[in-house]
């Protein structure tokens, strides 16, 4: 009984300090890889690229196999290159940008990228007129990407 009276509160204090230690070491856990404008107490992000993708119903599918990153779309994506941002979910220093080259109806990059964690995906044209987003889970080889906003 005495161990319960003193042991549980002592373990709670130790666990609290350990939690603070873990939280203090987190790297960029609350950052987004988007430019944000602060107006008074409101954060405003430029969503024009997302709205354009929603309006044009742009979607894409990523397939990672045979050491290639392949993006296909049912939409007729114009241009010879696309930009694929691979954002690490926790550590911004591990973010990667891939330039995908057109090969027929698909866009391909042969850049070697580790898949030992999830990736937040952001695909756009080189002029950033449109943007679609998705998530590639570490155990998956495919991911669907779509606009982050819906239009009424």
- pLDDT tens for each residue of 100-131: 999 988 999 888 777 788 889 999 988 889 99
| Regions of the chain where pLDDT drops below 70 | 26-44
Whole-angstrom Cα distance, residue 23 to residue 18?
Answer: 9
What domains, with CATH codes, occur in the chain? 47-146 (2.60.40)
| Neighbour-count burial of 68, counting CB atoms closer than 10 A to its CB (0-12 exposed, 13-18 middle, 19+ buried) | middle
Report yes or no on whether pTM surpasses 0.95. Answer: no
Planar angle of CA 41, 134, 27, nearest 5 degrees: 55
Instruction: State whether residue 44 is helix, strand or coil.
Output: strand
Q: Pairing relation of β-strands 119-125 and 106-109?
A: unpaired
């Amino acid at each position: 009984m005495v161990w319960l009276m003193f042991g549980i509160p002592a373990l709670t204090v130790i666990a609290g300090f350990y939690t603070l230690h873990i939280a203090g070491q987190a790297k960029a856990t609350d950052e987004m890889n988007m430019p944000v404008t602060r107006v008074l107490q409101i954060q405003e992000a430029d969503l024009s690229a997302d709205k354009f993708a929603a309006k044009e119903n742009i979607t894409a599918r990523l397939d990672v196999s045979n050491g290639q990153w392949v993006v296909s779309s049912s939409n007729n994506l114009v241009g010879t290159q696309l930009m694929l941002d691979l954002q690490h979910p926790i550590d911004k220093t591990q973010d990667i940008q891939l330039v995908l080259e057109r090969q027929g109806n698909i866009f391909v990059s042969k850049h070697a990228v580790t898949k030992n964690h999830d990736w937040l995906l952001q695909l756009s044209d080189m002029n950033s007129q449109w943007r679609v987003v998705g998530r590639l889970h570490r155990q998956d080889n495919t991911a669907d990407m779509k606009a982050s906003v819906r239009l009424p």
